[in-house]
Amino acid sequence: MKVLIIEDHQELARNIHDFLAKEGYICELSCTQEAAREKLGLFQYDCILLDIGLPDGNGLHLLDLIRKEHQDSNVLIISARNALDDKIIGLENGADDYLTKPFHLAELHARIRAVYRRKNLGGTHMIEFNEIMLNTDTFEVRIGNTTLDTTRKEFDLLLYFIVNKNRVLSRQAIAAHLWGDYTDNLANFDFVYQHVKNLRRKIAGAGGTDYISTVYGLGYRFDAHKHEAET
């Protein structure tokens, strides 16, 4: 996947770049509207990450250009401004999603995948990983031929793990993904533990491999190679 990161803060852009590069995405950076215009004129991108507060103007202007000439690209707005207006204007002008700083990189990745799935994979709502099948339309999880009785939160959690496989996911990142981040809900970490525990129990009960492992002190990891290691 080709990603264009339009973000004026070099460090933040590099974080995103480093994280996404590990997924095998080809990332390009531009710090200003001018540079972004130039790149957009020359290349096509699958996904464009757009910061609204750019040094040479509001990033929403770029959105018009992108919508005119790059209909196929997914646009994800990244903004430090939680202003509701920006959110609504951004989504009305054709952005596909909106993410408020500070976000977890895993969250950004999950959003990119979700937007990409919605738009580019057309009719298929199935995500497959080894024996695990997720239907994003019916929120149904299947292990082999067994349908798992999962709650919506557990489904979201599993999807989050699979999208961010082989990565350490902190409890904060998981809590923010499951419950959003506008409530004063730090106590939700216990609930993360509960959810992960339930999910692991359910997958194991259906005869699936327990890919999820605890990372001491930090959180959890979905270990894609566990299956191969065991067999």
Interface with another protein: number of residues (CB under 8 A): 45
Binder to another protein among 129, 130, 191, 224 (CB under 8 A)? 191
* Minimal distance, residue 23 CB to another protein, in Å: 12
Q: Which is nearer to another protein, 97 or 181 (CB)?
A: 181
Query: What is the Cα 164 distance to its own chain's centre?
Result: 8
Q: How far is CA 156 from CA 3, 45, 150, 222, in A?
A: 24, 27, 10, 14
Sign of CA dihedral 126, 129, 133, 136: negative
CB of 219: closest distance to another protein in angstroms?
8
- Angstrom distances, CA of residue 214 to CA of 56, 59, 88, 123, 193: 45, 40, 38, 35, 10
In whole angstroms, how close is the CB of 142 to another protein at the nearest point? Answer: 22
Residue 65 engages another protein in binding (rule: CB under 8 A):
no
Pick the binder of another protein from 113, 167, 177, 202 (CB under 8 A): 167
Give the whole-angstrom CA distance, residue 37 versus residue 14. 20
135 touches another protein (CB under 8 A): no
Q: How far apart are CA 151 and CA 14, in angstroms?
A: 36
Cβ distance to another protein smaller for residue 19 or 160: 19
Specify the residue, 26 or 218, whose C-beta has the smaller distance to another protein. Answer: 218
> Does the footprint of another protein cover residue 83 (CB under 8 A)?
yes
Dihedral Cα 197, 201, 203, 209, nearest 10 deg: 90
Burial class (CB in 10 A: 0-12, 13-18, 19+), 96: buried
Q: Which of 32, 100, 136, 146 lies at the binding interface for another protein (CB under 8 A)?
A: 100
Q: Which of the ranges 41-49, 65-73, 82-90, 141-149 carries the binding residues for another protein, by CB under 8 A?
A: 82-90
Residues in contact with another protein by the rule CB under 8 A: 9, 11-12, 15-16, 18-19, 22, 53, 80-84, 100-106, 151, 153, 167-168, 170, 172-173, 181-188, 190-191, 194-195, 215-219
